[in-house]
Amino acid sequence: RRFAAIYGRAGRIVGVLGFNRPRHVMRYRALIEQGASFDEALAAEF
Q: What is the pLDDT of residues 1-46, one digit of tens each?
A: 999 999 999 999 999 999 999 999 999 999 999 999 999 999 988 7
Please state, in angstroms and rounded to a whole number, the distance separating the CA atoms of residues 36 and 17.
16
Domain span including residue 30 = 3-43
- Count of beta carbons in the 10 Å neighbourhood of residue 6: 20
Helix, strand or coil for residue 16? strand
**Which positions ≥6 away from 45 have C-beta within 8 Å?**
none
Structure pTM?
A: 0.87
In Å, what is the CA distance from 43 to each residue of 1, 31, 40? 23, 11, 5
Domain count, the chain: 1
35 Rama class: left (phi>0) / alpha (psi -120 to 50) / beta = left
